[in-house]
Each structure stands twice: as structure tokens, then as C-alpha cells.
Amino acid sequence: MALRITTELLGDHPRLSEITTHLPLSASWIRGADGFIAFGKYKSHTVQGKKRFAEASAWWQNELSQLEIKNNVHGVGTGPIVFTSFSFSEDQPSLLVIPEIVVVQKNGKSWITWIGDRQPELSARVIPSIGLSLEWKNGALTDSAWSGAVEESVSRIKAGELEKVVLARDLIAKSDKVITPAALIQSLESEYPSTWLFLVENLIGATPELLVRLSKSLVTSRVLAGTIRRTGDEERDFALAGSLAKSSKDLEEHEYAVRSVAQALEPFASSTNIPDAPFVLHLPNVMHLATDVTGVINDTASKVDIFKLVAALHPSAAVCGTPTDAARELITELESMNRGRYAGPVGWVDAHGDGEMGIALRCGEIGDDQLSIRLFAGCGIVAGSSAQEELAESQAKLLPMRSALTRL
């Protein structure tokens, strides 16, 4: 007998990040007032290897076939939802989680989906500050060693081996108290409401980059590449935004990223729209060059779900480099670390194959003991890059998670 999964409209409820149930928080995807918050775990699954996106899609379709779906709301994001967190490299495990309870708010409407016979009760909780004491230590590379890797990358680029590479680094914090995902989500939300706040299996962050959204037949991808650190002085930051928009180094880096996304979408989408110039996205700690690429799925294309689009898009030049194979080889040689699910696609998918996938940036992975967390940051390196400036940029990109932790 199939297990029933039900979706019903909700009335007023607390802010998504403050909702709690009798089950632990298992996943989230929140931007501003809208998004998803999920509790408990009905099923989870791991995929790995070159066919991981296709295998993830097949597993999700099989799980759907075993559910009795009663969807009284309808539309994108209603009914059963699976949360996904894919690794950057195909040889590392990627995770899929089907929660027991999902609460959604979208465009002023709210609904709840649950597995089982009885609709769960919701309550509110604002998590008080617990005053973590954190001990920081280097990850795979020291600052000077990572700067040396940047310099080596610039040399390889100037020698013509590749055009761009994205180098990442990690930083580890040890805590004297348990680091809870719910507390971190609430802390991040207070400072970064314009980003996508995500949580899947202890990977948590506030990403500004949307790899792809599929809503019926409309495809959207927000490309970020080119960064400058904010000073906190409004007039100074306005001038810096202008310099970023004119920076030949940053515009070159951004062009590679946009081109890689447009080429990946070309087999699937018609009427693709790419603005003539990027805009400057203002975040509390940094500013980015940003471009929103949009398109419509071809009528002639075979059934396209978001897994198929992600397979074509990942890894983009924004997180790997150009050409992809050469950049990936250099990353393996110089980074000295396993990225795990950092810089991989993360998000949600509904029963129709629609959904949203961000790139797991500005994030950290909480350790199994919940007393440590590993933070990540990456920078796009091109011929005009400076090791000193890239190190400063990486420190700025670590700031969202560092500051969120200090507020706990």
C-alpha cells in the first residue's frame, strides 16, 4: 500500500527560520520571506560517479511512484519535495533527502506537505544566543601557501595553459558548544536576506549564486564572477562599484562564467536572453558583477527536468574555470583539499522536475560531533589576478559564515 503524502494550504505562521515541529530540522532553502523549511527524514540516498545527476533523477521518480500524492494546492514547489546537495567532483558522494514535513511560503501563500495520516503542529522558536567560544585553525593550506598557489595559477594562465581557474581554500573552527543548523540559519538570515539560505545534511550557507531555476518551461541562471570587498562607507562603496563595473580583470572573469552558462543551456533552451552588460550585486560584505541569463525550454527537447540542466551546467566557469578540464586538473594539483559538497549544486526539486539549484558557496560543513565546522571560499584567477588581492577577497567571502558563528 502506498504511503500518503498530503499538501494543504496554511494560514499565518511564524517566519520560516523560526518554525519548529516535533522533528529536527533537516533541510532549508530560504530567500527573504519565501522558501522551504523541512523537518525529519523520510528517506535519503547517495549518488556518485559520472551519471550521478541522471541516477538522482531516476531515484526521485521511483520514490514518487511509491507515494499516494494528495496535492490540494498545485503549482511549482507543491507536493513532494526532495532536497539535494551534490559534490563538486563526481568521485565524491552527493546526497538526496526526502523530509517528512516541508513548510513553504511563496508569493504571499503558504502550504505544508507531510508524510503520514496526521497533519503536524507547527510552533515558533527564536534561538537565544549561546556564546560560542571558537578556536580557528588553517585548513589544507596556510595563507602564504594558498597565495603561492594563486601565483602559480597566474603563471600557468600567462603561459597559455588555460584562461581561468577558481581556487578554493578552507578554514576550520572548533567550538566549545554544539553548533546547531537551526541557530546558524537564523543568524545568517539576519544579515543576508537577499541570498539563498540552504541546509542539507550539515552543509549550510548563504549563497548569492543561483545555478539554475526551472519553473514550468522558464529557465533562469544568475551568474556571479568578479568581486570587490565593501568598506562600509557608502560613498566609497559607490565608487568601488563603479570601478568594479569597469575593471578589465573582473569583466574578463565574468565573461568566461556567462559564456559557459549560455553554452550549457543552448541545447535545451530557445529565446535565450543575455544582457549586454552585468549589474553590480550589493551584499553586506562584498559586491559582485552579476548577470541573469534566461531562456525557454525548446518544445522539441525531450523531457527536461532540473537534474538534466544541472548535469549540463556543472561545473560552470564560476566555480571551476575555463577550459573546464584544464581548470579541474589545476585545482586537483594546487588546492590540496577535498571540496566535498562545496561549490556543488544545492537546492530542491518537486514532483514535476521543476526546482531551484544554487551553488554551495559562502558555506560551511558542520562536523559529525557538531563541535567543529569547516568553512570554504574560492576566487576566480585570471591573467590579471594578484595573490594579495585574491587572499583579501577570499577572507571577505569567509566573512558571512564567520560572522554568523560569532553571533551564536
CATH of the domain at 197: 3.60.120.10
pLDDT at 90 over 70: yes
What is the rounded CA–CA span in Å between residue 229 and residue 218?
A: 33
Give the active site residue among 18, 163, 209, 253: 209
Average pLDDT over residues 375-404: 95
Q: Does the global pTM surpass 0.85?
A: yes
Q: Match 560569532 to its residue by C-alpha cell.
A: 406
3-state secondary structure of 372: strand
pLDDT of residue 298: 87
pLDDT of residue 271: 80
Average pLDDT over residues 356-381: 97
pLDDT digits (tens, 9 = 90+) for 336-356: 999 999 999 999 999 999 999
CA angle 377, 382, 385 (to 5 degrees): 75
pLDDT at 183 over 70: yes
pLDDT of residue 13: 83
For residue 358, the cross-strand partners are 210, 346
pLDDT at 110 over 90: yes
pLDDT of residue 300: 63
pLDDT of residue 154: 98
Q: How many folded domains does the chain comprise? A: 1
Cβ distance 36 to 104 under 8 Å? Answer: yes
Residue 201 annotated among the catalytic residues of the structure: no
pLDDT of residue 303: 84
pLDDT of residue 12: 84
pLDDT at 112 over 90: yes
What is the rounded CA–CA span in Å between residue 162 and residue 258?
A: 17
Enclosing domain of residue 309 = 3-406
Average pLDDT over residues 211-234: 93
pLDDT digits (tens, 9 = 90+) for 166-178: 999 999 999 999 9
Average pLDDT over residues 291-314: 89
Cβ distance 363 to 207 under 8 Å? Answer: yes
Average pLDDT over residues 129-144: 94
Number of other CB atoms surrounding residue 386 within 10 Å: 15
pLDDT at 1 over 80: no
C-alpha cell belonging to residue 360: 554551495
What is the rounded CA–CA span in Å between residue 40 and residue 116?
A: 12
Q: Name the packing angle between helices 234-246 and 248-265 (round to 10°).
A: 60
Q: Exposed, middle or buried by CB within 10 Å (0-12, 13-18, 19+), for 276?
A: exposed
Give the active site residue among 18, 55, 164, 397: 164
Q: Exposed, middle or buried by CB within 10 Å (0-12, 13-18, 19+), for 235?
A: exposed
CA angle 391, 392, 396 (to 5 degrees): 115
Residue 209 annotated among the catalytic residues of the structure: yes
pLDDT digits (tens, 9 = 90+) for 18-48: 999 999 999 999 999 999 999 999 999 999 9
pLDDT above 90 covers a percentage of the chain that reads 89
Cβ distance 199 to 185 under 8 Å? Answer: yes
Residue type, 126: V
pLDDT of residue 301: 59
Cβ distance 16 to 35 under 8 Å? Answer: yes
CA neighbor of 326 nearest in space, from 210, 170, 159, 211? 159
What is the rounded CA–CA span in Å between residue 13 and residue 93?
A: 36
Mean pLDDT, the chain, whole residue set: 94
CA neighbor of 69 nearest in space, from 77, 78, 60? 78
3-state secondary structure of 364: strand
What is the rounded CA–CA span in Å between residue 24 and residue 336?
A: 35
> CB neighbours of 238 closer than 8 A, spacing ≥ 6?
none
